[in-house]
Amino acid sequence: MLNRVILMGRFVADPELRTTPNGVSVTAFRIAVNRTYNREQTDWIDIVAWRQQAEFVCKYFQKGSMIVVEGSIQTRNYEDKNGNKRTAVEVVADQVHFAESKTKEPVPHEPKQESFSVGNMDEYEDLDTDDGRLPF
């Protein structure tokens, strides 16, 4: 089976770097992607980037920046504050790339950063292995 997505779009807001209680960097952001057959329609796609990808995104991108995201679609279920069951659909970024022309050089900036508490970190699986092999 294959779960692969490549998107190009613009940041809706400045990304914020967060850190899990275990010290892992993460950022969640939304990009606006125009539909190729109808540029008047836009899809708003939620993206999650972890570790070095998250740090890179927060350092070099800001609201309005164009980005290319390669990753996979992930769904997860949760309950909102009122106890209603919800499903989140997001792209987990494996790679991110600049999509602006080289004449518009990215300027590194100090990313916004904050710590947060995740309700259940067991939902996220750490795929790193000590011997460099893939986990499957």
- The pTM of the full predicted model, rounded to 2 decimals, is 0.71
Query: Would you state the torsion angle of the CA atoms of residues 37, 43, 47, 52, taken in this order, to the nearest 10 degrees?
Result: 50
- CATH 2.40.50.140, applies to 5-122: yes
Angle 84-85-86 from CA coordinates, rounded to 5°:
115
User: What is the per-residue pLDDT for 37?
Assistant: 80
Domain spans in the chain, listed from the N-terminal domain onward = 5-122
81-127: pLDDT as tens digits: 999 999 999 999 999 999 876 555 555 666 555 544 444 445 555 54
CB 28 within 8 A of CB 90: yes
